[in-house]
Structure 1
Amino acid sequence: MATTFQKCKTDEKNKAYPCASTRCKHPWTVRYREPGGRSGRQREKSFPTKTEAVDHGVKMENDKREGTYIDPKRGAVPLKVYAEKWIGRQHMATNTEGTYERAFRLHIYPALGSRLLSAIRTDDIEQLGRDMTTAGLSANSADAYLTPLRSVCKAAVVNGDIGRNPFIGAKLPKLPNKAVDETQLPTGQQIQDMADEFRPEWALSIWLMAGLGLRTGEMLGLRIGDFQEDHVRVSRQITRGKAGQGPVIGPLKHRRVGDWRKIPLPTNLRDAVRAHVAAYGTGPDGALFKTLTGTLVAASDYATHFKKVTKLLGFEWSPHDLRHWFASTALSNGLPLLDVSRWLGHKSINETADTYGHLTPDSTGRAVKVMDVAITQHRAGLVLDTAA
């Protein structure tokens, strides 16, 4: 059992020994053993008051009985040190590693990097979320930047380094509804207006994203060899690596290296690709798009030019809205949700349903007809009449 005492009254080596006061302000120490009985390592910790010392001892004993004991010293390491070691053990795609590096460097380390891992509390997580949104980040961006810290805390709990994940119960910025508002998407004519205003050697990119539902990095990663007669094979994306690396080639989002997906290729886009290559050639390894110096196009540079064009036209769309246009056009015209989900490269069909499910044609009338036929075939009407 844990024992509580004051060293000023029991330890001859203590500088306050011997203390004759019955109500002195010297600290109280609690001593206990780790799990393992007499073979368990002896631990002790001091507190300003006897109540705090007793409470800690009771907690340690309860944790031992319930099998949830955590060595307090295991989490006594700065978050930055712990996170860097954790990152070093992971097998991440280059783009994911770069994303995590930026999140830690720009937001997490400045706020919590020097704090002990075991000292981080739920209110610290909440404050970090508030600080990011106050600085102008959207709820989605704040959530994305918190993801690496969330992963580190989860791993620390699993590894027995902390007893509780500080993200549990945290009130974070509320994420917006995932459902896309189709009335706020560009029309086909407005998409063409953007393409007309774009740099000629990049103009095709607008309709590739709108006609194939590609993410920006996936579009920039296309090579001439990816295009077949009736489909395009998407297997890579251009992403931003670690600081100073510039654009790098990585696997698709949610996929491993070598994974790919096949997307139907409209005839007019197939012809447009051929015309584009004839006019502007290709970049490194047959890349469809390149910079003026012949190198890969960085997603950040592309986004800057896209924003410049849309601002000139008086629009406020992002490249992702072209992907939304593809999905909404496909689903509103009756193409199967499962197929569209596969073409978009979503992690699961649930993501597609949450984002675009409301755009699928209403099947109420079809359902009535189907069930009428099925019930009539089995003469349920006669059974119901007889029962009545």
Structure 2
Amino acid sequence: MGRTDPRGSRPEVGAGWTDAGKSYEVRGLKRRARKTTRPVPIPPVLVQLLRRHLDVYGTAPDGRLFRAVRGGRVRSTEYTEVWQEARREALPAAEVHTPLAEVPYAARHAGISLWIKAGVDPVEVARRAGHSIAVLWKFYAKLLRGQQHRANQLIDDALNL
């Protein structure tokens, strides 16, 4: 299992909303001290993809993994265009015009849902996602409920060791 350690974020908010007049703000991680990192485990298949990307493209001078054609930041409009094209390529034609994976953030939600469905302890899911348990329950309760059969099997397996 690999790991990445995000140190901060650079959300695009629009130049009118920042003190510096830039279209983005450099921020720390949500609900964390300014210089704190958050270790995030990443599966081997993603590690391989990232290494291949780095071998081919390297990083931007400031360390960013992805950059626009001329080396600058990938703006949300450009990212959205690429996302929509990827949806057209990846989804069956009948699902392209549905809300399925409509925005890039849906991939985060899908990943967290996958971890829960795979049986990862909810405390660990919350930690990896950067959520509190309360937030995890609020937004993912429908996935966390209804697992009685699985829970019974886990308990039975533990008792039969």
Q: Distance in 2 between matches of 1:356 and 1:235?
A: 26
TM-score with structure 2 setting the length: 0.73
CA deviation digits over 1:275-311, x for unaligned, max 9? Answer: 1011112113221000111112233432343235435
Equivalent in 210, 215, 232 of residue 4 of structure 2: 232
Q: Distance in 2 between matches of 1:266 and 1:308?
A: 25
Equivalent in 149, 152, 157 of residue 366 of structure 1: 152
Contact 1:284 1:296 in 2 (8 A): no
Q: 3-state DSSP class of the match of 1:338?
A: helix
Structure 2 matches for 1:277-296, cutoff 5 A? 277-296=54-73
Contact 1:247 1:298 in 2 (8 A): no
Could you say if the C-alpha distance between residues 298 and 247 of structure 1 is closer, same or farther in structure 2, counting changes exceeding 3 Å?
A: farther
Aligned residue identity for 1:356: Y
Residue 332 of structure 1 corresponds to which residue in structure 2? Answer: 117
CA deviation digits over 1:132-166, x for unaligned, max 9? Answer: xxxxxxxxxxxxxxxxxxxxxxxxxxxxxxxxxxx
Post-superposition offset of 1:353? 1.0
Aligned residue identity for 2:118: N
TM-score with structure 1 setting the length: 0.33
Residue 47 of structure 2 corresponds to which residue in structure 1? Answer: 270
CA deviation digits over 1:101-131, x for unaligned, max 9? Answer: xxxxxxxxxxxxxxxxxxxxxxxxxxxxxxx
Structure 2 matches for 1:205-220, cutoff 5 A? none
Q: 3-state DSSP class of the match of 2:40?
A: strand
Q: Distance in 2 between matches of 1:306 and 1:234?
A: 22
Q: Distance in 2 between matches of 1:325 and 1:240?
A: 22
Higher strand share: 1
Contact 1:247 1:297 in 2 (8 A): no
Give the unaligned 5+ runs of structure 1.
1-228, 374-388
Structure 2 matches for 1:109-258, cutoff 5 A? 230-241=2-13, 242-243=15-16, 244-258=21-35
CA deviation digits over 1:341-386, x for unaligned, max 9? Answer: 111112x21111121133236135629x67xx8xxxxxxxxxxxxx
Q: 3-state DSSP class of the match of 1:329?
A: helix
Q: Distance in 1 between matches of 2:67 and 2:25?
A: 13
Q: 3-state DSSP class of the match of 1:282?
A: coil
Q: 3-state DSSP class of the match of 2:72?
A: coil
Larger Rg: 1
Provide the alpha-carbon RMSD of the alignment. 2.6
Could you say if the C-alpha distance between residues 254 and 298 of structure 1 is closer, same or farther in structure 2, counting changes exceeding 3 Å?
A: farther
Higher helix share: 1
Runs of 4+ in 1 over 4 A off after TM superposition: none
Aligned residue identity for 1:337: P
Identity rate, percent: 25
Number of equivalent positions: 141
Aligned residue identity for 1:320: Y
CA deviation digits over 1:242-284, x for unaligned, max 9? Answer: 3251234322233332122111121111111111011112113
Give the unaligned 5+ runs of structure 2.
none
